[in-house]
Amino acid sequence: MQFTKMHGAGNDYLYVNAFAETLPADIPSLAVAMSDRHKGVGSDGLILICPSEKADARMRMFNADGSEAEMCGNGIRCVAKYVYDHDIARKETIAIETQCGVLTLQVFPKAGKVEQVRVNMGRPIFNAADIPTQLPGNPPLNAELEVAGRELKVTCISMGNPHCITFVEEITDEWVLGVGPQIERHEAFPNRVNAEFVQVISPEELVMRVWERGSGETQACGTGACAVAVAGALTGQSGRDVLIHLPGGDLRLEWSDTDEVFMTGPAAEIFTGDWPVSDDA
């Protein structure tokens, strides 16, 4: 089975063209095996590019632990690049079906290959039950959360998948690697949660690191960056148009007057390869 490794701001996934490839029955186990950074190819997860009856392609995304997620902002930019570069839909406005609905992406080709993609990520979800979280508020803003003996002030938002944002004076490994996993599996989040830690540089500029549900720390998280931009605006930490610096690169976020969040960022193809699969894999 042929795969392509791609990344969006360092958030790396393995992509399989399901238009052309025959997939094994057990996709979660395939995702775990391929994503292993010591015994597999190594990635934050597996993304399938599938035919769609309502869009140019459909995206299915599996974390490195095999769990299927609703959306991936960096991943969907790479899907749009693949769809354009590999002639599945050679047009500059591309529709991709996800578990969160059909999203529209604008690609910016250079010399026939896409380098940047702008995504309409849709409207943020504020209702606590739909995020989902048991914390009070719709959405919970600066809500109290006790984690690892700390009293945190967190803001929770869904961009189709759940996010818990904590603004801190300085982002450290202790926050991301120590507190992050405990937030992910905190009882306040019945479906687990992505944990973002954010440092404010100015109202127009933020720094962010993320502990992703099912994958651990990643170099970037697109839906997380969207949630952070919205949380910053709601709590007065930032404006509605911000540049967010992540370990893997920068993302530009705009929370528009129509309530839709637009994200612009890079998409890059790294290499292709073949993965051996059997019918019962």
Same domain, 258 and 140: yes
Same domain, 39 and 107: yes
pTM over the 0.85 mark:
yes
Q: How many domains would you assign to the chain?
A: 2
Same domain, 101 and 162: no
Residues 160-169 have a mean pLDDT of 97
Same domain, 143 and 259: yes
Same domain, 171 and 245: yes
Same domain, 114 and 141: no
Please identify every residue annotated as catalytic: 72, 221
Instruction: Tell whether 279 is covered by a domain.
Output: no
Instruction: Tell whether 278 is covered by a domain.
Output: no
Q: With pLDDT > 70 as the criterion, what percentage of the chain qualifies?
A: 99
Tens-digit pLDDT profile for residues 74-132? 999 999 999 999 999 999 999 999 998 999 999 999 999 999 999 999 999 999 999 99
How high is the pLDDT of residue 235? 97
How high is the pLDDT of residue 279? 55
How high is the pLDDT of residue 277? 85
User: Which range of residues forms the domain containing residue 28?
Assistant: 2-120+266-273
Same domain, 132 and 259: yes
Instruction: Tell whether 280 is covered by a domain.
Output: no
Same domain, 59 and 76: yes
Instruction: Tell whether 281 is covered by a domain.
Output: no
Tens-digit pLDDT profile for residues 27-74? 999 999 999 999 999 999 999 999 999 999 999 999 999 999 989 999
Quote the mean pLDDT of the chain.
96
3-state secondary structure the chain: CEEEEEEECCEEEEEEECCCCCCCCCHHHHHHHHHCCCCCCCCCEEEEEECCCCCCEEEEEEECCCCEECCCHHHHHHHHHHHHHCCCCCCCEEEEEECCEEEEEEEEEECCEEEEEEEECCCCECCHHHCCCCCCCCCCCCEEEEECCEEEEEEEEECCCEEEEEECCCCCHHHHHHHHHHHHCCCCCCCCCEEEEEEEEECCEEEEEEEECCCEEECCCHHHHHHHHHHHHHCCCCCCEEEEEECCEEEEEEECCCCCEEEEEECEEEEEEECCCCCCC
Same domain, 27 and 80: yes
How high is the pLDDT of residue 148? 84
Name the band, by pLDDT with cuts 50, 70 and 90, for residue 278.
Answer: confident
Domain of 139, CATH number, reads 3.10.310.10
